[in-house]
Structure 1
Amino acid sequence: MVFIQNIGGGFLILFLISIFYFIFWVYCLVDVLRSEFKDPNMKLIWVLILIFAQGIGPIIYILIGSNGKKYSF
């Protein structure tokens, strides 16, 4: 408990948020790589968006990325 007090509560919260966001980013990247899209170029485009727009890329993918996926029932 002394360790947490020495590093400050703000640092700990920021560290936990960044860990959760990294897990979210990896989830999105794995989802893109395992999915099939209607347009074959969309997979490459989403990977590039996730890599180069790391701050907002995963959020954009979750919001609009599933529209281009190919579903087989």
Structure 2
Amino acid sequence: MIQPVLYQILDRPDGRFDVTATLASDRTYTREGLASFAEVDASLNMLRAIMAACGAEVLLHPVSAGIATRVVA
């Protein structure tokens, strides 16, 4: 059975956004430095299209109910 892909939207201190996608194998892929929600939406739509071709769902990570803030140490 194909496992879902979980995504998060991270708010960066510089006002840009990162989108992370975590596979069932715990591999995480990141699209960094997106300037607007339109770019975030386009990135997620592309991810959904690719995963749909594989038969996998793309779901919001349950820990982040929206946008999380990334803290840079």
Q: Could you tell me the TM-score, scaled by structure 2's length?
A: 0.27
Q: Which has the higher helix share?
A: 1
Q: Which has the higher strand share?
A: 2
CA radius of gyration, larger in: 1
Q: Could you tell me the TM-score, scaled by structure 1's length?
A: 0.27
